[in-house]
Amino acid sequence: MSHSKSIAIIGTGKVAGALGPRLAAAGYVVTYGMRTPEDPRIAALVARTGTHAKATTPKDSAASHDVILFTPPWLAAEATVKSLGDLRGKVLIDTTNAFTFRDGRDVALPVVGSAAEMIQSWAPGVRVVKAFNTVNFRVMADPAKGEGPTTIPLAGDDAAAKIAVAEIVRALPPFVPFDVGALSHAGTLEQMAMLYVSVILQPRDDAFEYVLRPRKK
Provide the binding-site residues for ligand NAP, judged by CB under 6 A.
11-16, 34-35, 71-74, 76, 80, 95-97, 132-133, 135-137
CB of 158 to ligand NAP, least distance (A): 21
Work out the number of other CB atoms within 10 angstroms of the CB of residue 1: 7
Q: Which is nearer to ligand NAP, 43 or 160 (CB)?
A: 43
For residue 143, whether the previous peptide bond is cis, meaning omega lies within 30 degrees of 0, is no
Q: Which is nearer to ligand NAP, 76 or 164 (CB)?
A: 76
The residue nearest ligand NAP at its CB is 13
CB of 21 to ligand NAP, least distance (A): 14
CB of 162 to ligand NAP, least distance (A): 18
State the DSSP code for 142: -
CB of 73 to ligand NAP, least distance (A): 5
Q: Which is nearer to ligand NAP, 4 or 108 (CB)?
A: 108
CB of 84 to ligand NAP, least distance (A): 11
How far the first Cα of the chain sits from its last, in Å, is: 40
Please report the DSSP string for 66-134 in residue order: SEEEE---GGGHHHHHHTT---TT-EEEE---SEEEETTEEEE---SS-HHHHHHHHSTT-EEEE-STT
Q: Which is nearer to ligand NAP, 2 or 83 (CB)?
A: 83
Q: Which is nearer to ligand NAP, 120 or 136 (CB)?
A: 136
Distance in angstroms (rounded) separating the CA atoms of residues 76 and 53: 24
Element (H, E) at 30: strand 29-33
Distance in angstroms (rounded) separating the CA atoms of residues 33 and 18: 15
